[in-house]
Structure 1
């Protein structure tokens, strides 16, 4: 990530990504400006994807079986 984006939270990165998309869609930018923004957007999108993936893994539920073994199951919001 660019130096000024290194300590962003997921929410901040997501907001910055949205702002970049709006600029790319609404403003007439030079090719260099557009490429710089696109590069930052790709970095931010990857950061957000990795952050969401890590959060999903943390939401995995650890269940203890009757015999004492532990079973890792994916977290699901749907009721089955």
Structure 2
């Protein structure tokens, strides 16, 4: 069975990476829009965007696998401490 803490740490890391990739995709879209407005060829930029979107999609599927692994953990998450 997966270790709960390890999987939770993986989930946190996946969320950070996904947020970063979402920002990168958004930045690339803006870049393409600016290039288009200036009349530049955007073929390579659009190819890169498709690759970035695919990477984001794979990351989202990986995150789902982590969530599923967490649901199978045999140990319970730590109880919140009372202050």
Normalised to the residue count of structure 1, the TM-score between the two structures is: 0.55
- Tell me how large the CA RMSD over aligned residues is: 2.0
- Deviation at residue 29 of structure 1 after TM alignment: 3.8
**Residue 57 (structure 1) aligned with residue 65 (structure 2):** yes
Q: Which residue of 1 aligns with 2:45?
A: 37
TM-score for both structures, normalised by structure 2: 0.53
Which structure has the higher relative contact order (CA within 8 Å, separation 6+)? Answer: 2
Alpha-carbon distance, 1:58 to partner = 1.1
Structure 1 distance, partners of 2:72, 2:24, is 35
Gapped runs of 5+ residues in structure 2?
Answer: 1-16, 75-83
Poorly superposed stretches of 4+, deviation over 4 Å: none
Question: Which secondary structure state, in structure 1, belongs to the residue aligned with residue 38 of structure 2?
Answer: coil
Query: Does 1:14 pair with 2:22?
Result: yes
**CA deviation digits over 1:11-56, x for unaligned, max 9?**
222212101112223432422xx11110111111001000010101
| Residues in 2 aligned to 1:41 and 1:18: alpha-carbon distance in whole angstroms | 9
Unpaired runs of at least 5, structure 1: 1-8, 65-80
